[in-house]
Amino acid sequence: MLFNSWTFLVFFAVVYTVYRSLGTRVRWQNLLLLLASYFFYAWWDYRFLSLILISTAVDYAVSLGLDREANSRARKLLLWTSLGTNLGILSLFKYFDFFQENLVALFSQLGFHASPLTLEVILPLGISFYTFQTLSYTIDVYRRKISACRNPVDFALFVAFFPQLVAGPIERAATLLPQIQKARHPSLDQIHGGVFLILWGLTKKIVIADNAALIVNPIYNAYTAFDGFDLIIATLAFALQIYGDFSGYTDIARGLAKLMGFELMLNFRLPYFATTPSDFWRRWHISLSSWLRDYLYIPLGGNRAGPTRTLINLFLTMLIGGLWHGARWNFVLWGAFHGVILILYRIVDQRPRRWSLPETALRMLIMFILTLIGWIFFRSESLEQIQYLFTHMGFTLSSGSLGLLRQLAGLAAPLLVVQIWQQRSGDLLAPIRNGPLTIAGLYTVLLLLLFLFGVRASTEFIYFQF
Amino acid sequence: MQPPREIAQPVRLRDLLISLLVPLLVVLLINLGFAIYLDQRPFNRGAWLNGHKWSLLDQLDTPIDTLILGDSSCNQGVIPEKLGRALGGTALNLCTTGSSLVVDDAWMLAAYVERFGPPRRVVVIHVYDVWGLGEDSLRNIRWTILPYRHLWQGRRPIIAQSSQRFLREIISPYLPLISQEATVRKLLFEPQLLLERRDFSTDASGFMAVPEADAEHLARDIAIHRASTMNANFRVSDINQRALQELARIAKRGGFPLFVANSPIAEELAHDQIFRKYYDTVSHYLDQQALELDFERILAEAPAFSQEVMRNADHLTVAGAEQYTAELARALAR
């Protein structure tokens, strides 16, 4: 069930009506949300609901044990049970075929013959998101940062809360669980912000991202038929597409949660205005980058073990971050690329961060170009494609280039206007810090954009595949 | 430069309601305005044609000898008066658009037979590429036919209807922002068109006369036909197959002959080897269906016309229509 479908509209209208009619009876509300979340997930494929149930049951039991147990060896064993189960499921469904195929290829290079055993299973929707979310919970209980949740419905809802189940944000138990456990009263400003986020998120997805995809897909899917500036335009369009798609999803998820009285974490803070790679990762998919920082980079030693080790830790973290996106070499290369630029900036760019406006603009431009280079790795489907794109990109125009550029500018314009507004005011909700009639005007424009320029076929969100 | 934050600020209920209800009201009003405007002043020729031909059928008070059904190539390619004179009796051109598919022919024939009983003969004419079009092609114009002409009157649906689709089709005439968004978009970006009156018309027997040839359009269209058939394999769509069976069934039950003819085609295309490969497959399919379903094939060889009498690759000027109608009359008289 996609957020941008009529089916979801009906689903949410029903769930929301019942939810609000339950008033402050939080236990019943949570049960309703849990059932709705399972229904939401099962709509895609009910069989994979069992994986969520396994993760939930194991982590619920493990966390109770961790809370009770004082013996450190027993606690470690419990933690490894959770890690083993969750990462085992994730590896089996997401990475088994990839590692198997690559090992077989490596063996045959070395002269050994091994027959491949690929499972060819479908990737369960959102598996990387809910696995990381539930892992962070168990690790936090192990570290005694939080205590275990005793109510199985509350915990199951924390794992499966439908607005963020399949594409994040990857929530932390310390912030989401308390909201689940206490009575919720959606305030007027939450509803106000929620409506804006839903409308703006839908616009980013249906109007900007889905239309940008119409530029990207024909070129990236038949890349050898294109060269020169068309390849640059397609990559720029992909930057729009992936940002509009993913941040649009997050906005809708956060908006829906706000309507129900929940606050989900910020996942995007205008990433294309970043001036350095570390700034980019403070703005892009924040829930993943902070997860990787807290549960991977810092446990690896972070920056406490000397400069060389810090750089190695950074690189490893980004590499695994790349692999999190999918079992393909292009994602590994994308992660590695970001690791390398993080390291280079750390070594070379030691100046204090007080830049003049032109210098800030120049840094932003350079970072944007680096981000685009990263997107080439990310969007490509093979190493041959990456090689072709890097060697055939240029500024030669084709007969269709200007038309494509016009389309791209038309799509980028509303995004740019709103984002400059948000950046200058320092407030992501700046567009609704106005009089009611101005906001009404803005909403009218957004609704008309959705009706008249939205791509009608409900297309999946890109991050569902991760 | 610091990344922005999300700063929550209190809002009054009155302000919240204004910011939510005003846009809904404005959008509803814009929608209503376009619904009324488009109902009064048709902008899309295809949508107008569908409605117009159904109203010709509705207003008919005497039986017709020869009913002509099909797409826009036949709408401006067959002159009923001339055909009636040649065959003796009356004729009516009920041809609409290609995207109404063969299914609209079946509904029209069923509607006619219900009121007047069997006609003397029925001719169905479609451009070769209509036979492969699926239900999706029907989507955009379906609302002009279905809610009023078909579903309310309980005729056999032929197309599969999910309840969601059914609901959408019923409400879509009232929601032009959703059902006719391309037209609305065009009118919003070129508001001068709002004042322009588009006068579409046919004669009393349903023939749409187009006087002038258009060489440029023809050349462009020929290139498109060539490109789209070059590596394509023909497969009749499910919905057209079912509609053709329905036509044959009605004809058999009524005991009148059903003729299926090829539409006019540009000479240049008719002589193009690669194009003909695809075209002949379609013709062959119709020949086979004629044997299986017991109808008659006429003008099965590509009826080719020179560029002087063509608007595009399969639409004729009046002069071309005179020639095609004469050929059709000869074939029917045989």
Q: What is the pLDDT of residues A206-219, one digit of tens each?
A: 999 999 999 999 89
| Per-residue pLDDT, B168 | 65
Asked if A408 and A213 touch (Cβ cutoff 8 Å), the reply is no
- Between helices A329-348 and A383-392, what is the axis angle to 10°? 50
| Per-residue pLDDT, B139 | 63
| Per-residue pLDDT, A103 | 75
Q: How confident is the model at residue A194 (pLDDT cuts 50, 70, 90)?
A: very high
A contacts of B13 (beta carbons < 8 Å): 188
Tell me which amino acid residue B177 is.
L
Percent of chain A having pLDDT more than 90? 72
- Residue in B5, B11, B164 closest to A427 by CB: B5
DSSP code of residue A143? T
A contacts of B15 (beta carbons < 8 Å): 435-436, 439
Q: What is the pLDDT of residues A362-409, one digit of tens each?
A: 999 999 999 999 999 999 988 999 999 999 999 988 888 898 999 999
Contacts 24+ apart (CB under 8 A), A441-444: A441/B23, A443/A195, A443/A199, A443/B19, A443/B20, A443/B22, A443/B23, A444/B22, A444/B23, A444/B26, A444/B27
Find, among A246, A272, A307, the residue nearest to A465 by Cα: A246
B15 to A436: CB separation less than 8 angstroms, yes or no: yes
Give the Cα separation of A127 and A137 in Å (integer). 16
For residue B34, give how far its alpha carbon lies from the nearest alpha carbon of chain A (Å): 13
Is residue A360 within 8 angstroms of chain B, CB to CB? yes
Least confident of A119-123, A253-257, A281-285: A119-123
User: Locate tokens 């101005």: which residue?
Assistant: A438
Residue A446 has pLDDT above 90, yes or no: yes
Q: How confident is the model at residue A117 (pLDDT cuts 50, 70, 90)?
A: low
Is residue A266 within 8 angstroms of chain B, CB to CB? yes
As a dihedral over the C-alpha atoms of residue A181, residue A185, residue A190, residue A191, rounded to 10 degrees, the angle is 120
- Chain A residue whose CA is closest to B136: A457
A269 to B184: CB separation less than 8 angstroms, yes or no: no
- Encoding tokens for residue B72? 């826009």
Q: What is the pLDDT of residues A213-242, one digit of tens each?
A: 999 998 988 888 888 999 999 999 999 999
The complex's ipTM?
A: 0.79
B8 to A282: CB separation less than 8 angstroms, yes or no: no
Is residue B189 within 8 angstroms of chain A, CB to CB? no
For residue B182, give how far its alpha carbon lies from the nearest alpha carbon of chain A (Å): 7
A contacts of B172 (beta carbons < 8 Å): none
| Per-residue pLDDT, B190 | 83
A436 to B19: CB separation less than 8 angstroms, yes or no: yes
- Chain B residue whose CA is closest to A192: B16
B contacts of A430 (beta carbons < 8 Å): 4
Is residue A279 within 8 angstroms of chain B, CB to CB? yes
More reliable by pLDDT, A458 or A166: A166
**Number of other CB atoms surrounding residue A382 within 10 Å:** 12
DSSP code of residue B310? B
- Whether B313 maps to a domain, the answer reads yes
| Per-residue pLDDT, A316 | 94
**CB neighbour list of residue B126: distance below 8 Å, 6 or more residues apart:** B70, B71, B73, B74, B98, B102, B263
Residue A254 has pLDDT above 60, yes or no: yes
Residues of A with catalytic function: 325
Could you give the count of Cα atoms lying within 13 Å of A399 in the half-sphere of its Cβ? 0
Give the Cα separation of A398 and A405 in Å (integer). 11
Find, among A270, A274, A260, the residue nearest to A427 by Cα: A270
A contacts of B184 (beta carbons < 8 Å): 452
| Per-residue pLDDT, A118 | 61
A contacts of B27 (beta carbons < 8 Å): 444, 447-448, 451
B22 to A425: CB separation less than 8 angstroms, yes or no: no
- Chain A residue whose CA is closest to B22: A440
Q: What is the pLDDT of residues B34-47, one digit of tens each?
A: 888 887 777 778 87
Residue ranges of domains in chain A: 6-185, 189-275+355-465
For residue A91, give how far its alpha carbon lies from the nearest alpha carbon of chain B (Å): 35
- Chain A residue whose CA is closest to B8: A189
* DSSP letters for A227-259: -BHHHHHHHHHHHHHHHHHHHHHHHHHHHHHHH
Is residue B162 within 8 angstroms of chain A, CB to CB? no
**Structural domain total, chain B:** 1
- Chain B residue whose CA is closest to A444: B23
B295: CATH? 3.40.50.1110
Helix (H, G, I), strand (E, B) or coil at A270: coil
- Chain B residue whose CA is closest to A193: B8
Q: How confident is the model at residue A162 (pLDDT cuts 50, 70, 90)?
A: very high
A269 to B4: CB separation less than 8 angstroms, yes or no: yes
- Chain B residue whose CA is closest to A439: B19
| Per-residue pLDDT, A64 | 95
- Whether B30 maps to a domain, the answer reads no
Q: How confident is the model at residue A459 (pLDDT cuts 50, 70, 90)?
A: low
A contacts of B177 (beta carbons < 8 Å): 448, 451-452
Asked if A63 and A139 touch (Cβ cutoff 8 Å), the reply is no
| Per-residue pLDDT, A90 | 87
C-alpha distances out from residue A163 to A131, A263, A418, Å: 16, 11, 24
- Residue in B7, B18, B164 closest to A440 by CB: B18
Q: Average pLDDT, stretch A66-80? A: 92
Residue A108 has pLDDT above 90, yes or no: no
Preferred mutation among A203, A444, A445 to probe B, highest tally of B CBs within 10 A: A444
- Whether B182 maps to a domain, the answer reads no
B19 to A192: CB separation less than 8 angstroms, yes or no: yes
A contacts of B1 (beta carbons < 8 Å): 273, 275, 360, 423
For residue B159, give how far its alpha carbon lies from the nearest alpha carbon of chain A (Å): 20
Preferred mutation among A270, A422, A443 to probe B, highest tally of B CBs within 10 A: A443
A188 to B4: CB separation less than 8 angstroms, yes or no: no
For residue A169, give how far its alpha carbon lies from the nearest alpha carbon of chain B (Å): 15
Find, among A410, A414, A407, the residue nearest to A442 by Cα: A414
| Per-residue pLDDT, A167 | 86
- Encoding tokens for residue A360? 């800030």
| Per-residue pLDDT, A352 | 65
| Per-residue pLDDT, A353 | 67
Preferred mutation among A206, A438, A452 to probe B, highest tally of B CBs within 10 A: A452
- Chain B residue whose CA is closest to A424: B4
| Per-residue pLDDT, B128 | 95
A contacts of B140 (beta carbons < 8 Å): none
B contacts of A192 (beta carbons < 8 Å): 11, 16, 19
Preferred mutation among A268, A353, A427 to probe B, highest tally of B CBs within 10 A: A427
Q: How many CB pairs under 8 A join A and B?
A: 98
- Chain B residue whose CA is closest to A448: B27
**Containing domain of residue B283, as a range?**
45-135+197-333
- Residue in A360, A429, A448 closest to B7 by CB: A429
Give the Cα separation of B299 and B323 in Å (integer). 13
| Per-residue pLDDT, A2 | 82
Q: How confident is the model at residue A466 (pLDDT cuts 50, 70, 90)?
A: low
- Residue in A360, A428, A439 closest to B19 by CB: A439
Helix (H, G, I), strand (E, B) or coil at A150: coil
B6 to A422: CB separation less than 8 angstroms, yes or no: no
Q: What is the pTM of this model?
A: 0.78
> Which regions in chain B score pLDDT beneath 50?
147
Q: How confident is the model at residue A93 (pLDDT cuts 50, 70, 90)?
A: confident
| Per-residue pLDDT, A461 | 64
For residue A457, give how far its alpha carbon lies from the nearest alpha carbon of chain B (Å): 12
For residue B14, give how far its alpha carbon lies from the nearest alpha carbon of chain A (Å): 9
DSSP code of residue B28? H
Q: How confident is the model at residue A131 (pLDDT cuts 50, 70, 90)?
A: very high
Q: What is the largest CA-CA distance in chain B?
A: 86
- Whether B304 maps to a domain, the answer reads yes
- Whether B4 maps to a domain, the answer reads no
Is residue B190 within 8 angstroms of chain A, CB to CB? no
Helix (H, G, I), strand (E, B) or coil at B1: coil
Q: Is B115 exposed, middle or buried (0-12, 13-18, 19+ CB in 10 A)?
A: exposed
